[in-house]
Amino acid sequence: MILILLGPPGVGKGTQAKLLAKEFGVPHLSTGDILRAAVSSGSPLGKRADDYLQRGELVPDDIMIGVVGEELNRSMYESGFILDGFPRTIAQAEALGAIFQRMNVTLDAVISFEGNEAELVRRLSRRRMCRNCHSIFNLEIDRIPNPGVCPRCGGELYQREDDKEETIRNRLEVHQRLTSPLRDYYVRRKLLIPVQGVGEIEGIHKRILSLLADCHAKR
């Protein structure tokens, strides 16, 4: 199973990607995690990406394509994967299509999550990251006993610049403007499955599985 998950920040792609990865027994590839690791390493690629992340802007195509292309060369993805957060532009989608051809694999579906802006801003502003292990938590969902202490390693939890309200609203505006053509791109290829991302997690998961089954039955 190879799936792409699209949607604005905070809409729940990561949560559903983990559930789908477990359901189908394939890896979950989060480009956000890869970028954060690159930033933390201080590599030239990470420094370039960090400039855009701090401003709440999308990372340019050349950086994202390079990061994802290198990752997909690993053998762990040969049997399938859930791709969360990439592509975000048509140029990235076309480059990803070329990568899939080289891998000799077929994209099964593109799940497009939708959500209300006010709810997305509220969700994202509650996120915190650990300075030590870089784990990300939501103060509302994860019910952390001490909102300033990481429950995994005891490190300090802080709010990233790109999780502050002004930056969040900018990220959502940029995302909508730049990725609207991408949804149309996958609609034309009869791969897009729209899903409401706000609601009960298990209910959304079951709905996705039902839609995937319907899609498979029609092919």
For residue 186 the two structure tokens come to 């996958």
Contact between 6 and 191 under an 8 Å Cβ cutoff? The reply is no
Q: Which residue has the tokens 């949560």?
A: 15
For residue 35 the two structure tokens come to 């970028």
**Annotated active-site positions, please?**
13, 88, 127, 160, 171
- Provide the residue type at 81 as one letter: F
